[in-house]
Structure 1
Amino acid sequence: MNWDSYIKSYQSYLKIERGLSKNTIENYSFDIERLRLFLVISEIEVSPIKISEETVQQFIYGVSKEVNPRSQARIISGLKSFFSYLIFEDYRTDNPLELIETPKTGRKLPDTLSVEEIDNLIAAIDLTTNEGERNRAMLETLYGCGLRVSELVTLKISDLFFEEGFIKITGKGNKQRFVPISDLTQKFIQIYRDTIRTHLTIQKGFEDTLFLNRRGKQLTRAMIFTIIKNLALEINLYKTISPHTLRHSFATHLLENGADLRSIQLMLGHESITTTEIYVHLDRKFLAQVVNTFHPRK
Structure 2
Amino acid sequence: MNWKNAIKDYQLYLKIERGLSKNSVENYERDITKLVSFLNEKETHISPTTIDSHLIQEFIYQIAKKLNPRSQARIISGLRSFFDYLIFEDYRKDNPTDLLETPKIGRKLPDTLSHEEIDEILSAIDLSHPQGERNRAILETIYSCGLRVSEVINLQISDLFFEEGFIKVLGKGNKFRFVPIHQSTQKYILNYISYIRNHITPSKNEEDIVFLNRRGKRLSRQMIFMILKELALKANVEKKISPHTLRHSFATELLKGGADLRAVQQILGHESITTTEIYVHLDKSYLADVVNKYHPRKSN
Matched, 1:109 2:109: yes
Q: Which residue of 2 aligns with 1:100?
A: 100
Superposition deviation, residue 21 in structure 1: 0.6
1-side partners of 2:91 and 2:77: how far apart? 19
Q: Which residue of 1 aligns with 2:236?
A: 236
Unaligned regions of 5+ residues in structure 2, if any?
Answer: none
1-side partners of 2:15 and 2:208: how far apart? 24
Q: Which residue of 2 aligns with 1:172?
A: 172
1-side partners of 2:162 and 2:280: how far apart? 28
5 Å-filtered alignment, 1:104-253, equals: 104-253=104-253
SS of 2:179's partner is strand
5 Å-filtered alignment, 1:72-83, equals: 72-83=72-83
SS of 2:48's partner is coil
1-side partners of 2:94 and 2:221: how far apart? 38
SS of 1:5's partner is helix
SS of 2:266's partner is helix
Superposition deviation, residue 285 in structure 1: 2.0
Q: Which residue of 1 aligns with 2:84?
A: 84
SS of 1:51's partner is coil
2-side partners of 1:103 and 1:274: how far apart? 20
Given that 1:200 and 1:216 are in contact with CA atoms closer than 8 Å, whether structure 2 keeps it comes out as yes
1-side partners of 2:136 and 2:97: how far apart? 47
2-side partners of 1:281 and 1:156: how far apart? 34
Superposition deviation, residue 260 in structure 1: 1.6
SS of 1:93's partner is coil
SS of 1:241's partner is coil
Q: Which residue of 2 aligns with 1:6?
A: 6
Superposition deviation, residue 296 in structure 1: 5.2
SS of 2:281's partner is coil
2-side partners of 1:279 and 1:71: how far apart? 22
Unaligned regions of 5+ residues in structure 1, if any?
Answer: none
1-side partners of 2:210 and 2:280: how far apart? 29
2-side partners of 1:179 and 1:288: how far apart? 30
2-side partners of 1:280 and 1:112: how far apart? 13
1-side partners of 2:203 and 2:155: how far apart? 16
Given that 2:109 and 2:278 are in contact with CA atoms closer than 8 Å, whether structure 1 keeps it comes out as yes
Given that 2:255 and 2:279 are in contact with CA atoms closer than 8 Å, whether structure 1 keeps it comes out as no
**Which runs of at least 4 in structure 1 moved beyond 4 Å after TM superposition?**
none
Cα distance change on mapping 1:127 and 1:218 into 2, 3 Å: same
Superposition deviation, residue 283 in structure 1: 3.0
Superposition deviation, residue 295 in structure 1: 4.5
Superposition deviation, residue 66 in structure 1: 0.6
Letter in 1 for 2:138: M
Letter in 2 for 1:286: Y
Given that 1:252 and 1:281 are in contact with CA atoms closer than 8 Å, whether structure 2 keeps it comes out as no
Q: Which residue of 2 aligns with 1:63?
A: 63
Given that 1:248 and 1:280 are in contact with CA atoms closer than 8 Å, whether structure 2 keeps it comes out as no
Superposition deviation, residue 235 in structure 1: 1.1
Letter in 2 for 1:276: T
TM-score using structure 2 length: 0.97
Given that 1:122 and 1:136 are in contact with CA atoms closer than 8 Å, whether structure 2 keeps it comes out as yes
Superposition deviation, residue 294 in structure 1: 3.6
* Paired residues, number: 298
1-side partners of 2:181 and 2:274: how far apart? 25
TM-score using structure 1 length: 0.98
2-side partners of 1:108 and 1:184: how far apart? 32
Superposition deviation, residue 236 in structure 1: 1.3
1-side partners of 2:90 and 2:71: how far apart? 29
SS of 1:67's partner is coil
Letter in 1 for 2:165: G
